[in-house]
Structure 1
Amino acid sequence: MSSTLSRSVFNREIREIYSKSLTLGDNWTLIVVDQNQDINYLEKSIQQLYLNEIITLIYHIIYSESFSVPVLYINIFKSNGSVFKYDEIYKFFSLKELDSDQEPILILTQQEHPILFKPFYYMHPCMTSHWMNQTKLGSDESFNFTLKWLSFVFSALRIPIDIKYALN
């Protein structure tokens, strides 16, 4: 059982998620970066009230060439245009930094976005394949691997995802 996927499978799966998003009235956008090389990603932007301030959350689902898995990139902007700092991101998602003898479940770090070349936080993909194997989420070929991964990641970050994505 493989818990990785090819770029072509990733692109097919994000198109499926995007199509379902249109049906559900969710606001994912399919971004086509390079049609010739079939480089695409999903983007979702939402605004919400947080600590008496309107913030903008941006989520990108991007394919990792190195790990052959989807990767979540996140940025959160305050109403004045400034980006959340590391400690603010961890507080917002209620994540805890663990002692050195504990293995973190989620690792959010900042790096340059691979397409936009701007700083973004991202969930490091090193554990994605391992998680997918552990939960047996990569075993059913008829179901969308990227959607399974997305529901797992969003759940861990306490980000709502419509259960109707799982329905045929």
Structure 2
Amino acid sequence: MSDSMTWLEFLSQAKGFLAISSKLNDSWQLIEKDKHEPNTFLKYAQKVKYKDELINVEYHIVYSISYQVPMLYLQAHRSDGGLLDIEATWNLFMPEMPRSDLYQMLTQMEHPVLFRPFMTLHPCRTCEILSQFGKQSTNLILTFISIYGPYVKLELSNSYGLINEENEKYEMKM
């Protein structure tokens, strides 16, 4: 497996992931700001329980031109629309982690497509982590979300893997 991916590979695999999501009636969307590279990303929203309230979390899987890997961006809002600050976001997703480690893992950056602040899982080791899989992944987006998603309460159904395996078998027969 290559240690990185091109924009066109990201786009192709994002569309492949979206096809799996559609088969499962999951609510992932492909958002295309315009035709320019890399102005397309995957979007998913869900509610997450935090203390005694439900938090609306919006996740974006975006291509990083610098690192040539997928990146996970997110925003968390209270039911009144108020954005969770960085401290509350850390408490929601990684309450046991030492604060000094969190700045290197879950930090605030400008969204590369929307140009406004989002929280993101830092991509510096993504390439290394994705390359550690023995069997070459046919969909790095699916692999990426499966690995990184649970850190921020984004967990895919096991059905994603089953449908992806079915697609692999179908493609091999053709």
Closer, same or farther: CA 13–4 of 1 in aligned 2, 3 Å: same
Identity over aligned pairs, percent: 30
Residue 109 of structure 2: SS of its match in structure 1? Answer: strand
Residue ranges of structure 1 left out of the alignment (5+ in a row): none
Contact 1:57–1:75 (8 Å) recurs in 2: yes
Summarize the alignment of residues 44-123 of structure 1 with structure 2, pairs less than 5 Å apart. Answer: 44-98=44-98, 107-123=105-121
Shift of 1:32: 1.1
Residue ranges of structure 2 left out of the alignment (5+ in a row): 167-174
Q: TM-score, normalised by structure 1?
A: 0.85
4+ residue segments displaced more than 4 Å: none
Which one has the bigger helix percentage? 2
* Distance in 2 separating the partners of 1:134 and 1:90: 27
Count of equivalent residues: 162
Closer, same or farther: CA 68–80 of 1 in aligned 2, 3 Å: same
Contact 2:94–2:151 (8 Å) recurs in 1: no
* Distance in 2 separating the partners of 1:44 and 1:59: 5
The letter for the 2-side match of 1:140 is Q
Q: TM-score, normalised by structure 2?
A: 0.83
Whether 1:21 aligns to 2:21 is yes
Q: List per-residue Cα deviations over 1:113-133 (Å, max 9, x = no partner).
A: 111111100011111011112
Q: CA RMSD in A?
A: 2.2
Closer, same or farther: CA 156–51 of 1 in aligned 2, 3 Å: closer
* Distance in 2 separating the partners of 1:16 and 1:115: 21
Contact 2:7–2:37 (8 Å) recurs in 1: no
Contact 2:39–2:113 (8 Å) recurs in 1: no
Residue 125 of structure 1: SS of its match in structure 2? Answer: coil
Q: List per-residue Cα deviations over 1:59-113 (Å, max 9, x = no partner).
A: 000000000000000100001211111121111113544486xx77x70100111
